[in-house]
Amino acid sequence: NAGVTQTPKFHILKTGQSMTLQCAQDMNHGYMSWYRQDPGMGLRLIYYSAAAGTTDKEVPNGYNVSRLNTEDFPLRLVSAAPSQTSVYLCASTPRPGLAGGFKNTGELFFGEGSRLTVL
């Protein structure tokens, strides 16, 4: 009963390096998203995908995402900066976020997070 799996759990990299945070879910959820969690800031949405093969909003600078299939939703840091030091949380939900959004479900299923430090 894996749910949402994130790897790695911890990683340290240097400014300018690139890396990919992996997220996979085995619940056949259409909707997947990435949040970052910072002390005193709560959770902030980075990007979401409503279905495999779709891009639903502009990708923030410094990140790259892809959704080639339903299960996987990797987040790539193109050229890491210290401002990207954070805990990254991946989430999924069975509702694709179309009309009605989260009104009727509201439950996001989260992974355990990836703690990333950029030196």
108 forms part of the interface with another protein (CB under 8 A) = yes
Q: What is the DSSP string of 71-119?
A: SB--EEESS--GGG-EEEEEEEESS-S-TTTTSS---PEE---EEEEE-
- Closer Cβ to another protein, 80 or 102, answer by number: 102
Least separation in angstroms between residue 103's CB and another protein is 5
* Shortest Cβ 16–another protein spacing (Å): 30
| Cα 117 to Cα 20: distance, rounded to the nearest angstrom | 13
Q: Residue 88, interface with another protein (CB under 8 A)? A: no
Distance CA 19, CA 39 (A): 23
Instruction: Kindly list the residues in this chain that would bind another protein in the complex (CB under 8 A).
Output: 4, 31, 33, 35, 40-45, 48, 50, 56, 89, 91, 97, 99-104, 106-113
